Chains A and B, each alone.
Chain A
Amino acid sequence: MNPTAHRFVLVGGVLHDPANGLDGVIADIWVDDGAIVAPPADADGFARIDATGLVVMPGGVDLHSHVAGPKVNAGRRIAPHLARHRRPGPAAVPTIHATGALYAALGYTTVFDAAIATAAADVAHAELAELPILDKGIYLLAADERQVLEALSVDDQDRLDAVLRAALVRGRGWAVKVANPGGPDFWKRGRRGDHHDLDTALPGRPVTPRHILDRLARAVARLGLPHPLHVHTANLGLPGNWRTLLETMRTFDGVRAHLAHVQFHSYAGGDLDEGSFGSGVAPLVEHFNAHDTLTLDVGQILFGDTVAMTGDSAAAEHLAHATGTPWMSHDLHLEGGCGVLPIAYREKSLIHAWQWAIGLEWFLTAADPWRVALSTDHPNGAHFTAYPVLMQLLGDEAFRREALGRIHPAVRRRSPLAGITRAYTLQELCIVTRAAPARIAGLTRKGHLGIGADADITLYRPDRDLARMFSMPAKVYKAGVLVAEDGVVRATPEGVTFSV
C-alpha cells in the first residue's frame, strides 16, 4: 500500500527544529507532495491538521542499527526464547516487517544497517526492500575485502579508491564501514579474541590496523562520500580498550571519521583484567571534544535480554567465552563475517552496570550534541524500542539517579555518573535523535523541518515522563503520509534506499 501523500498544514505545533534554530517555537508546517514547502499564496487544497499543544520534531534517524542481512537472520533464530510470542513486547530481533512498523510507531523514519558484507549486500537489499515505511541504507564492510587489503599492502591510493568505489556500486552502499581493522586476519590465525594494538602488522602483510584506518578514512574523503568512514575499532569489549579508541581517534588527525558504539570501546582496566574494569571515558571525551572532525554514536546498553550481533567475529567469540553462551559464527567468503549470541544485561552485574554508566557518561560529557548520535547499536546494547527510556535517562536527572541507585554498588561508588547533573533539553534530545544523525549521515533532506526537507514529521504529546512521551507519538508522517497514530500503524508506504 502506498497511499498518496496529501497536501496539508500542521497548525499550531511547538516546533523543535535545531537545524533551523527553532527551539520550542509555535509555527505551522506546510506539506505538499511529500516535502515541506513554504506557505503557499493560495492555501486552498491544503487540509488543516490541528497540532496545537503538540511537540513537533523531524522524523527520527537511526544512524547505527542492525536490521537486515545474515547476522540479523541468525539473531532471529538463535534466541527462540526471545521471540514475540514468548514474552511481552517485541521480539528481540523482529521480523523485517515488524522492524519497520515498530520504528515508525516510535517516530523514526530513517534507519541504516551498519554492517553488511559486500558479498551479502544483494540479499540484504532484498530483505530491506520488504522493510516498510522507512527510508534506509547500508554501510558496507568493504574494508574486509581482500582487494582492499591488497591495495593497502602496496599503498596504492588510486587502486584503493577504485576498489572502494566498485564495492559501493556493486553493493549499493551509503558508506564504508570498518569493523575491527585487520582483526579477521589475526583471528583466523587461531588467536583467541582480537587482542592486538593498532601497530602490529597483520600476519603476512606489511599493513597495520592503524594503516587501514588512516588510508580508508582518507579514501572515503577523496571519494566524497556523504558519511565519513564508519569505524568500529579493535578490541571491542575488552578491559583497557580505551587506549585503543584513543589511538584510533589520534590516527585520523584532522580527517573526518565516525566512531561507532563508543561505549563498547571505553573500558579502563588492566590488560584483559576484568577485576579492574571501569570507565575510560574521561580522556576519550577530552580528545573528542577538542577534535570537531570526529563524530560518534554511543551504543548505550539498557538492562534486559537482547541478542548481540557484530561483524567482528573475534569480539563475539570473546564474549561467548566470557559468558559461556552458545554462539554462532558466520563467515562470508573470507571477506566478512559475523558473530551472534544472546545476552542478558543485568543491573547487578558489575560489568553490565559499568557498561550502562559508561554509555551515559559519554552522552553527558560530550560537549557538542551535534557530533553525537543516540543509538543502542540495536540490538546489541538494547532494542531500539527502548530509545524512549534512554531519552528519559538523558533528559530527567531524577530518573537517572533513581536508576543509578539500583545498579551494582561498586559502580555507583566509582562511576563519575553520580556527579553529573546535566540533563538534556528537548532540543538536545531532538539533536541527538534527528538533526545530528541526519547531518552526520550526510542526509540533507532529513533531520530538519526546513523548506525542501522530506515531510518526515513526528508529533508528540508533551509529558514530564519522557519515556512515555517518546514511546507513543500522537502522529507520525513519512514523506507526508500518516503512517502511525498513537502506536497504531496506519499505512505502510515503501521507503527509498539510499546509495551513493
Chain B
Amino acid sequence: MSEIINLTIDGKQVAVPPGTTILAAAREAGIEIPTICFHEATTSNALCRICVVEVEGARVLVPSCVAAVGEGMKVQTQSERVIRSRRTILELLESTVDLSEAPEIQQMVVDYQAVNDRFPQAEERQSLPIDDNPMYLRDYSKCILCWRCVQVCAEDAQYTFAINFSGRGYETQISTFYEIPMPESTCVFCGQCVGVCPTGALKPKRQWLLELGRTPDEIMDLTRGERRSRRRRVEPDVNEQA
C-alpha cells in the first residue's frame, strides 16, 4: 500500500495519507463540504447525509465524513445530484423540526435554495421542553437526531451512558432509559451533550430563562438556597448534648 493516495476532488489534485476521509481530504484542499452531524470531537456516523458527494463509478452518493479516499478516485462535491440530495435533506428537516436556533443549518437552507413547504402535509415533531433538572433543558422539538449528545455521553467522552435513541422511525427520539427524569439516570450533568448540540435542543437552564425574559436577579431567586427559609447555622456544640 502506498504511503500517499492521489485523487481529484472537483477536478483538483489532492494527495493524502491512506485512511483519510473524503471530507478531511477536501478540507485540506480548501474545498468546503457542508456537515451537520459531523463533529471533530465525536466518531462520525454518516447519519445526516448532508455531506454526501458523488464518486465516479459509485452506485450511490457517498457520505464523505466516513468514506475513505481511494487511489485515483474522482470526487464531485457540488454535482447536480449532490445538490438535489442535500436540498431534499434540508427540506425534510425543515418540514418536521424547529430549526430556529440552528443558524448553520438555516444558512444551508438559503445556500441550497431549499423550499420550506416542500412537504406541506408533514407532521411536525412537537414536544414540550423537559425541565427535570437544575442544569439544562431538553427541547426535542428542535432535535435533528444527529446523535452527538449520545456519543459524548458514551464512549466519545464521558462513559456515562445516560441517554440513547428510543423509538423507531418517525418516533425516534433521544431519551433516558424508560424516559426517567435526568437526575434518576446515570447523568453526571457534565453537559458535554449541551456543548455539542447544534440546534439548541439542549440548553443551559440559565440561558433558557434569560431568553424567556427573566432577569439575572429573578433567575437567582429560583435557587434552592433562596427558596428555603433562612435557617441559620446551628452551633456545633449543640451536637454534643447527645
A, B from the same assembly: no
